[in-house]
Amino acid sequence: MNKFIQTSLLLTLTAYCSAEVLKNPTTYSSDLYKEVILNGNYDSSIDHPSKFLDFNYGERVASPEQIEDAINAYKKQSNKIKVINYAKSHEGRPLHALIISSPKNIAQIDLIKQNLSLLSDARKINDKEAKKIIDSLPAVAWMAYSIHGNETSGSDAALGLIYHLIASNDSEVVNLLDNMIIIVDPVMNPDGRARFAKSLEQYRGTAPNYDDQSLIHSGDWPYGRTNHYYFDLNRDWVYLTQPETQGRVSLISEWKPQILVDAHEMGAQDTFMTGPAREPINKNMDRDLIKWGNVFAQDQGSEFDRRNWRFYTGEWHEDLYPGYSFYVNFRGTLGILYEQSRMAEDGVRRPEGTIQSYKESVHHQFVSSLSNLNTLSANSKAMYNDYWEARKLNVSKESDWANQTFVILPTKNTSRINTLANKLKSQNIEIYTNKQNIIVKNVLKQTGDIVEEFNIPAGSMIIPNRQPEAPLISAILEFDAEIDEDVLKKEREATLRDGSSIMYDTTAFNFTMMYGLEALTVPEYVKGNLSLWEPSSVEIDVDEKAIMWIVDGTDDLSVTFAARLMEQDVQVRIVDKDISLSGKSLSRGSPVVIAMDNPKNSKLVQLVKSTAEGLNVSVSSLYTGFGPEELPDWGGRHFRLLNKPQIAILSHEGFSSYDVGVSWWSLDHHLGIRHSQLNTSMIGYADLRRYNTLIMPSGYRSLNQDEMSVLKDWVKQGGTLIANNGSTRMLVSDNSITSIKDVSDSFENSHDYNIKLQREFLSKNISIDLDYVNNNKISSGISYPWEETENRIDSDTLKKRDSWQSLFMPSGAFVSGRVDKKHWLSFGTIDTLPLLYSDFPVLMAGSGSKAVIRIGELTKKNNQDVYKTINWSDIPPGNDLNVRMSGLVWPEASQRIANSAYLTRERFGKGQIILFSGEPNFRGAALGTNRLWLNSIIYGSGLGTSVLIKQ
């Protein structure tokens, strides 16, 4: 059937149907805005965008597939375009970068990229050569749209922009392409856009809808902003966890564009925002770029003024967190943000009674894009000169970063440090290692302490910061991002006035704390005797003559190894203490497959081998189960049998889509084993017996009494219930399934909580006086911890303090986690684990529960021989407590959360409850705490519940 017949048939059918079933609307949104977006002289051999749509260009939201159709046609119709598929989304949609320029420039892409690369590394060329390159280089712009899938107008503008650039015969456009490479990244998040486009389809009625509260505007859970796993791709630019970002950033690393436009949408009742960020701005950012930002904003503003369009610059747009698209500013690229008020589809009615149409919002994005391209064209050479000066500074002795070296200490967690290396390398960061120890002075530790002399052990990862990407390196590796006093003043003022904040994202983000890897900053340029970092080799030794095969428990992949074998019905044990067997030393938490446990499995050796090979994780064969002296032997209680986890995640309305998404992603990405997402509304009648491990991501939905009692019965029968942040808060306040309390409900019993805490402290610091202990006479001189503490604080005062302190809770900062290294939940973690902490429930663990991680690192302090009281808890004599590690943690908040629990575990019937105060998988990047979460899921059922013997 040809297209014409198809269309007319459709019209007839529509007319027939509407007469029968639906009435036509009284007005159409297409009548709202009569301006023509694409009004140049165009080459008729290139198809107008409307040809690929079932509506007129700009009037509605084009689906990713429609935009892809246009791209596929344009690459055949024009010699001014080269299409690169830089990634594939989780749902299988391609991500395109369209390189648009004159055919002459397109033919020279390789040469241009080579020159851009030379210009970026001032160690390779001199001023004269740089000048020659700058004279010859076209300007390079990266134009990127709709990273948030439900902020749609950007991608529609991009579709028009591509057509305009390749089809226009106007000399202005032709000249632009002669002098410029324009890389259009039209649909940055195709899965999110597809989800939102589908919801538009589903909620569309006959009459246009201008009510921004209606479903057609909002969409529904999990909304269209995020990608397939509900990740915010505009927080992923340095952590690089998602394929969309990984592909994009490696292409940006190749091209080093001069500007990167990132077109968004914001609240429907807003106007349009662009321009440079306001404070706080990350100190590693090149201030020259901010100057250029104003030049672009001014030209763009004039275009808006000319058309009577309202806009503003800066206001709420801050720039401390380095994982936005603005991260390119650390690399010498000017990031330009557009925020268009969100029209969803038809348009939005505003308080003054006017309606702004969707088409107008597309037009704003289109005009902004052309304006920025023209400004770049006029200023490209001057910007290249500034860029060259900045790149020279980055590798010189004079820069702020020149005497700064980041060191990550050696770890047996091979897979985690390799992940870090890969992330850094994708940003062109050069990393090294040392074969011999290096002695350095005045080293800064993650805790903030300075060590006068430090011996960097051989095999460390070393990143001296006199290299081309110095500002970026500092932004993502420095332990603390500097925040001005003035900014702190404004933040405190906002907090005190009305509980608001001027911080738009987390105030702490450095990679090594995120990853739970021990690191140092050395205040000098460490050089000499360094070699390029290579991932350590993997040794897969699976001998069929061995009696067991084991993977070291420090490596995160050990959890994956255990999980994947259990899924294939292999019996796996875990060694819960450090061991030495067959001459090999292995860490506690090492999973081991023993031949005798699997007598009927004829493919056992093959399975162990192929699993290790698939994961690329080292595995050793062991020939004896005898551990020398006190070390565990294989028949003893330290070789504990695991239980195959059968996992469900509670999901949907009422849960944070981010925390659901990252939990789901973590299971698929780190483990790749089967699990189910359950719609929580089913919990009252679902058959929960199919699962032994239930995950409650952070949420704000309270369970009703029936649902609670189903859940309780399930746990009592042996289930492992794991909850994060908001869901933890809900379970704690429900009060019937856990003994853990929120601090605000604990003051009546603060003495008991303190005594439990003192037991933990004292148990770690035992000294025995034999004469005293073995004395047969009764002693009258026993010391009790509470008798020695001074100023105990009464519960009224504690209550008052708490409500005041709760005003100052952090919004994403690192605090020290004091880890119980004897507990199975902490397998694979370091002693002081950085915890990304926000306004989480402050957990109090009393008798009957275990605080596996508490907040605050105990440090030695001289000349202090009395207890120090912090709210309900006492710090033993001779000690201090470090709480803040990085980011903004007001002293009031430090006091409030000191010694509270971050991770708790308690028995309930034959099952157990595991509570995280926070969100351990944050952004897929918090690998340090993610490990605790993986331990809880894969080892929880075996190690924390009563063993089920199947008859």
Residues in touch with Zn ion (CB under 5 A): 148, 151, 264
What's the angle, vertex CA 259, arms to CA 107 and CA 235, rounded to 5?
115
Query: Cβ 298 to Zn ion, closest distance in Å?
Result: 23
Query: Cβ 162 to Zn ion, closest distance in Å?
Result: 21
How far is it, in rounded angstroms, from Cα 692 to Cα 715? 8
Q: 395: which residues sit within 8 A by CB, 6+ positions away?
A: 121, 122, 123, 466, 467, 468, 470
Query: Cβ 31 to Zn ion, closest distance in Å?
Result: 29
Return the number of the residue (264 or 818) whose C-beta is nearest Zn ion: 264
Q: 216: which residues sit within 8 A by CB, 6+ positions away?
A: 199, 200, 203, 204, 205, 209, 344, 345, 346
| Residue 280: cis peptide before it, omega within 30 degrees of 0 | yes
Return the number of the residue (148 or 564) whose C-beta is nearest Zn ion: 148
Which of 382, 484, 309, 305 lies closest to 131, judged by CA? 382
Return the number of the residue (151 or 469) whose C-beta is nearest Zn ion: 151
Return the number of the residue (265 or 906) whose C-beta is nearest Zn ion: 265
Q: Which residues pair with 520 in a beta bridge?
A: 407, 445
Query: Cβ 64 to Zn ion, closest distance in Å?
Result: 17
Query: Cβ 233 to Zn ion, closest distance in Å?
Result: 10
Query: Cβ 234 to Zn ion, closest distance in Å?
Result: 6
CB atoms closer than 10 angstroms to residue 531 = 10
Residue nearest to Zn ion (CB): 264
Return the number of the residue (148 or 217) whose C-beta is nearest Zn ion: 148
- Please return the burial class of 287, using the count of CB atoms within 10 Å of its CB with bins 0-12, 13-18 and 19+: exposed
Q: 74: which residues sit within 8 A by CB, 6+ positions away?
A: 46, 47, 81, 98, 162, 163, 166
Return the number of the residue (338 or 808) whose C-beta is nearest Zn ion: 338
How far is it, in rounded angstroms, from Cα 518 to Cα 885? 13
Which of 33, 29, 67 lies closest to 161, judged by CA? 67
Query: Cβ 788 to Zn ion, closest distance in Å?
Result: 56
Query: Cβ 147 to Zn ion, closest distance in Å?
Result: 6
Query: Cβ 623 to Zn ion, closest distance in Å?
Result: 58
Return the number of the residue (188 or 605) whose C-beta is nearest Zn ion: 188
Return the number of the residue (187 or 424) whose C-beta is nearest Zn ion: 187
Phi, psi torsion values for 261, nearest 5 degrees: -90, 135
Return the number of the residue (264 or 416) whose C-beta is nearest Zn ion: 264
How far is it, in rounded angstroms, from Cα 541 to Cα 905? 36
Which H helix or E strand runs over 218? Answer: helix 215-218
How far is it, in rounded angstroms, from Cα 843 to Cα 812? 17
Return the number of the residue (224 or 924) whose C-beta is nearest Zn ion: 224
- Please return the burial class of 497, using the count of CB atoms within 10 Å of its CB with bins 0-12, 13-18 and 19+: exposed
Query: Cβ 227 to Zn ion, closest distance in Å?
Result: 13
Return the number of the residue (153 or 571) whose C-beta is nearest Zn ion: 153
Return the number of the residue (203 or 223) whose C-beta is nearest Zn ion: 223
Phi, psi torsion values for 573, nearest 5 degrees: -110, 170
E strands, 208-277, in order: 259-266, 272-274
CB-based contact 812:805 (threshold 8 Å): no
Tokens 């603390």, residue located: 480
Query: Cβ 421 to Zn ion, closest distance in Å?
Result: 31
Query: Cβ 323 to Zn ion, closest distance in Å?
Result: 14
Query: Cβ 285 to Zn ion, closest distance in Å?
Result: 20
User: Cα–Cα distances in Å, from 372 out to 151, 160, 183, 355?
Assistant: 20, 15, 13, 27
What's the angle, vertex CA 449, arms to CA 448 and CA 450, rounded to 5?
120
SS3 assignment for 574-635: EECCCEEECCEEECCCEEEEEHHHCCCCCCHHHHHHHHHHHHCCCEEEECCCCCCCCCCCCC
Query: Cβ 279 to Zn ion, closest distance in Å?
Result: 21
The DSSP code sequence of 812-877 is: SEEEEEEE-TTSGGGTT--SEEEEEE-S---EE--TTEEEEEEE-EEEE-SS--S-EEETTEEEPT
Return the number of the residue (264 or 850) whose C-beta is nearest Zn ion: 264
Query: Cβ 907 to Zn ion, closest distance in Å?
Result: 45
Return the number of the residue (192 or 464) whose C-beta is nearest Zn ion: 192
Return the number of the residue (264 or 670) whose C-beta is nearest Zn ion: 264
How far is it, in rounded angstroms, from Cα 428 to Cα 472? 10
Query: Cβ 222 to Zn ion, closest distance in Å?
Result: 15
Q: 642: which residues sit within 8 A by CB, 6+ positions away?
A: 562, 566, 571, 572, 573, 574, 591, 938, 939, 941, 942, 943
Which of 565, 559, 575, 626 lies closest to 601, judged by CA? 565
Query: Cβ 197 to Zn ion, closest distance in Å?
Result: 16
Query: Cβ 273 to Zn ion, closest distance in Å?
Result: 11
Return the number of the residue (149 or 944) whose C-beta is nearest Zn ion: 149
Return the number of the residue (80 or 264) whose C-beta is nearest Zn ion: 264
Q: 532: which residues sit within 8 A by CB, 6+ positions away?
A: 430, 431, 432, 433
SS3 assignment for 746-808: CHHHHHHHHHHHHHHHHHCCCCCCHHHHCCCCCCCCCCCHHHHCCCCCCHHHHHHHHHHHHHH
CB atoms closer than 10 angstroms to residue 436 = 9
Which of 739, 745, 734, 877 lies closest to 806, judged by CA? 745
Return the number of the residue (188 or 835) whose C-beta is nearest Zn ion: 188
